[in-house]
């Protein structure tokens, strides 16, 4: 039997790579077992990639029953832990232990913190993504919030107001449907060209929901919080993640920035921001801060890596020496290589489209996918090629076409067909938005060291 490092074990959190857990000094591959777990296949995912001891401390039925280890766990043993630390899970104070239960159908990149994609073959089955299939991108453990103690603070240079959820729910509400996409979606594809840093998302860090909440604009107007010094609205989450958005977006009557308390007709699930999250339609995922604690109207952008720092700045493609440039150097020594303050943080995202699946029916093959652009720019066309870009045809636009001008917050689904080809083909797609922006063919000139905003033509080989 092999020996595995803690580091290696921590990478095994998905059905694709195998789901591993450890107990004492042993490593187990539980991929095929999760469907049979009596406590639920989703619950067991919390322990993926690490020790099950902290969970068994809570659910004592496991350790009270020897046959669980002997008859169930041991047959799944694949090896031992290299440099086993027998005290690792003593008196554990695992900050992730109270994370919510999640669908085992998600494609997990990690569980602590949780980074998981909407499963590829489900994306275009639902124009509105069901809550349990939504992608999850957490930087920290999920805050455990007591709704009776929860308060939102909103302040401006002069005034300061506090709201409970009940008070917010009494204000006039609005519902909007938006697609949200992580800035790192499709990073894996940039990495095929040259190494980047961050989670290697495939195309599934994108989902759509109907949100209900109060327009932030209404509160700002009612409370008289605006003055002409204010340029940015900073939003801070209970987990410490913070970001800001321009005041122009918030005060635009068509901007639809919401303080949302419902997602697809339910209280927002804990993973997605319970009890309150800001929804900034058309902007990159990070601006949609979850578990909001503070909103500050300011003349400054938010501090921190997600706004002023390196995390969401589009570093040019010619700053590419990942081996010799420490990414922190760009940040810490602001004048060292480039001045990070001169690079605008990502707000609205560029035009995107992806192929989600290719299926055969009778004598045709059918490619399906989604297209979406930032800033509410609608999709006016999707081009599909079945021969790697030599010739093209127009896809049929399906759900999501014809959304209002500059308020097309949600994605548009599309479909294209050809006769069954004799040989293997490469299918690719590119979309055009209402500003006639389109996608670059290759990653080379949009590649960046952080792996953000990849929107090069998406390609899939068939069969
Ligand atoms: N407070 C807080 N807000 C957050 C994050 C976070 O870790 N903490 N992650 C951000 C990022 S990077 C993205 S892509 C979206 C993901 O939202 P989701 O997990 O609901 O899909 O939330 C954003 N808001
Ligand atoms: Mo993100």
Q: What is the pLDDT of residues 272-316, one digit of tens each?
A: 999 999 999 999 999 999 999 999 999 999 998 899 887 899 988
Q: What is the pLDDT of residues 221-264, one digit of tens each?
A: 999 999 999 999 999 999 999 999 999 999 999 999 999 999 99
Does 63 have pLDDT greater than 90?
no
285 lines ligand 1 (CB under 6 A): yes
Q: What is the pLDDT of residue 334?
A: 47
Q: Is the dihedral of CA 65, 70, 76, 78 positive or negative?
A: positive
289 lines ligand 1 (CB under 6 A): yes
Q: What is the pLDDT of residues 311-332, one digit of tens each?
A: 899 988 888 765 555 555 555 4
Interval 24-35 mean pLDDT: 91
pTM: 0.88
Q: What is the pLDDT of residue 327?
A: 57
Pocket test for ligand 1, best of 139, 199, 282 (most atoms within 8 A of CB): 139
> In which residue are the tokens 């035009």 written?
351
Interval 84-101 mean pLDDT: 86
Q: pLDDT band at residue 58, thresholds of 50, 70 and 90? A: confident
Return the minimum-mean-pLDDT range out of 50-59, 72-81, 142-151, 406-415.
50-59
106 lines ligand 1 (CB under 6 A): no
Q: For ligand 1, atom 20, name the residue with the nearest CA.
A: 272
- Residues lining ion ligand 2 (Cβ < 5 A) are 137, 182, 285-286
Q: What is the pLDDT of residue 335?
A: 46
Q: What is the pLDDT of residue 329?
A: 57
241 lines ligand 1 (CB under 6 A): yes
Return the minimum-mean-pLDDT range out of 48-52, 210-214, 329-333, 402-406.
329-333
Task: Give me ligand 1 centre to Cα 243, in Å.
Answer: 11
Q: What is the pLDDT of residue 309?
A: 81
Does 61 have pLDDT greater than 90?
no
Cα-only R_g, the chain: 23
Task: Give me ligand 1 centre to Cα 288, in Å.
Answer: 6
Q: What is the pLDDT of residue 305?
A: 84
Q: What is the pLDDT of residue 95?
A: 84
Q: What is the pLDDT of residue 409?
A: 98
The two three-digit tokens of residue 59, written as one number: 């659910």
Interval 197-203 mean pLDDT: 93
CB 316 within 8 A of CB 325: no
Neighbours of 287 (CB within 10 A): 29
């Amino acid at each position: 039997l092999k020996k595995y490092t803690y580091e290696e074990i921590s990478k095994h959190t998905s059905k694709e790579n195998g789901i591993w857990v450890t107990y004492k000094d042993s490593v187990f591959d539980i991929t095929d077992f999760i469907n049979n777990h009596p406590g639920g296949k989703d619950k067991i995912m919390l322990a993926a990639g690490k020790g099950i001891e902290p969970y068994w401390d809570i659910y004592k039925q496991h350790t009270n029953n020897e046959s669980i280890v002997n008859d169930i766990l041991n047959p799944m043993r694949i090896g031992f832990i290299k440099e086993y630390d027998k005290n690792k899970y003593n008196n554990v104070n695992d900050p992730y232990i109270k994370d919510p239960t999640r669908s085992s159908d998600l494609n997990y990149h990690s569980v602590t913190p949780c980074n998981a994609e909407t499963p590829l073959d489900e994306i275009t089955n639902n124009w509105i993504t069901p809550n349990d299939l939504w992608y999850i991108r957490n930087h920290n453990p999920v805050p455990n919030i007591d709704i009776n103690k929860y308060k939102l603070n909103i302040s401006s240079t002069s005034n300061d107001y506090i709201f409970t959820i009940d008070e917010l729910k009494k204000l006039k509400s609005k519902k909007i449907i938006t697609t949200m996409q992580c800035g790192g979606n499709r990073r894996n594809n940039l990495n095929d060209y040259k190494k980047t840093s961050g989670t290697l998302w495939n195309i599934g860090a994108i989902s759509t929901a109907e949100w209900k909440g109060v327009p932030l604009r209404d509160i700002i107007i009612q409370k008289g919080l605006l003055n002409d010094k204010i340029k940015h609205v900073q939003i801070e989450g209970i987990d410490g993640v913070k970001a800001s958005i321009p005041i122009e977006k918030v005060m635009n009557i068509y901007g639809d920035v919401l303080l949302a308390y419902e997602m697809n007709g339910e209280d927002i699930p804990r993973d997605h921001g319970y009890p309150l999250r800001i929804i900034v339609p058309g902007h990159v995922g990070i601006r949609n801060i979850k578990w909001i604690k503070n909103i500050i109207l300011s003349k400054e952008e938010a501090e921190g890596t997600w706004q002023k720092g390196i995390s969401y700045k589009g570093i040019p493609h010619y700053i590419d020496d990942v081996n010799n440039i420490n990414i922190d150097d760009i940040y810490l020594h602001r004048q060292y290589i480039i001045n990070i303050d001169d690079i605008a943080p990502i707000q609205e995202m560029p035009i995107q489209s992806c192929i989600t699946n290719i299926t055969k029916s009778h004598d045709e093959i059918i490619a399906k996918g989604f297209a979406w652009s930032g800033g509410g720019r609608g999709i006016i066309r999707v081009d599909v090629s079945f021969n790697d870009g030599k010739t093209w045809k127009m896809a049929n636009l399906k759900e999501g076409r014809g959304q209002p001008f500059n308020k097309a917050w949600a994605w548009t689904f599309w479909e294209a067909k050809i006769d069954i080809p004799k040989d293997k083909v490469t299918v690719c797609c590119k979309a055009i938005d209402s500003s006639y922006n389109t996608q670059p063919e290759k990653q080379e000139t949009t590649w960046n060291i952080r792996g953000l905003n990849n929107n090069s033509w998406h390609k899939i080989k068939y069969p």
